[in-house]
Structure 1
Amino acid sequence: MNPIVRAALSRLLGNRGERHAARFLRGQGFRILAKGYRTPLGEIDLIARDGDILVFVEVKSRRQGQPAEAVTLEKQRRLTLAALQFLAQHRLLENQRARFDVVAIVWPDDRKAPTVEHFRNAFEAVGRGQMFR
């Protein structure tokens, strides 16, 4: 497949997954605060509240396999840096409890509903984790 077409299809699948993950999390009682928070250091797909905890959510969508395995140590490091920037920008570094979740979505080819796995507290902050409580 043409690399440009492959990239476009991947973006479409990712966008669809992020919309589905936001609906799923709302159904779990989360309040979505931001989508696609971008910084020069990285992007956070969703930022939500789960009670008094701020949740930084990485969404991984695939047609097959284990999407959560794509959240590598390097990806965790970039998410940590982006989360720290969000916390600093909103003056939340001192007292805000936070965690990182992963929502993994597998879309079947037969147009049935996707399989969704929600990994709460999927990983600890990487590098500068002492800033998270």
Structure 2
Amino acid sequence: MLPAGFTRFPIWRRWFGRRSERAAAKFLRRQGFCILGRNVDDRIGEIDLLALEGRTLVVVEVRSSETKSFDELSATVNLEKQRRLTDATLRFVQRRRLVNVGVRFDVVALRWPPGAREPEVRHYRQAFQSVGRYQFHS
């Protein structure tokens, strides 16, 4: 167990976030997804995971906590975050000249009970639609 308030330190948060992203990628691979990239960074925003399910490009936002419920975690993907993910995805698709590709936005929420080696996972498929002037089809 970590000391109270330890999660506020940036080093711990980065480590915890990377650990959660690895666990989410492992979970999605077991579900049949092909992971295309992790931490796809753009000046507009970062995409935690990019995956392929069939012919659909899946943009995955990973949320994790030791104490929050799954619903609380998924609710943290607010409208501003959705807009940044939509914009970053548009730039990704345009730069790679991907045409006629379906895009879906998912959220993978992970809860790490104290002392657990593996998290509890909940996958929210099509957690939100693209936000802003750009619309993708799925």
Q: What TM-score do you get using the length of structure 2 for normalisation?
A: 0.88
The number of residues matched between the two structures is 130
Structure 1 residue runs of 4+, over 6 Å off?
none
| DSSP 3-state at the match of 2:24 | helix
RMSD over aligned CA atoms reads 1.5
| CA shift in 2, pair 1:90/1:71, >3 Å | same
Alignment match of 2:86 (pick from 76, 80, 89): 80
Using the alignment, how far apart are the partners of 2:75 and 2:6 within structure 1? 25
Q: 2:97 — aligned with what?
A: 91
TM-score (norm 1): 0.92
Please give the alpha-carbon distance, in whole angstroms, between the structure 2 residues aligned to 1:128 and 1:8: 36
Gaps of 5+ in 2: none
Change (3 A) 1:64 1:2: closer
Name 1:57's counterpart in structure 2.
60
The offset of 1:113, in angstroms, is: 2.7
Partner residue of 2:75 out of 69, 72, 77:
69
Residues 1:15 and 2:21 aligned together: no
Alignment of 1:109 with 2:110, yes or no, is no
* 1:100 equivalent in alignment to 2:101: no
In 1, the alpha carbon distance for the partners of 2:118 and 2:53 equals 25
Q: Where does structure 1 lack aligned partners over 5 or more consecutive residues? A: none
Report the Cα offset of residue 10 of structure 1: 1.1
Deviation, 1:111, is 2.0
Change (3 A) 1:82 1:2: same
> Within 1, Cα distance between the matches of 2:6 and 2:28?
34
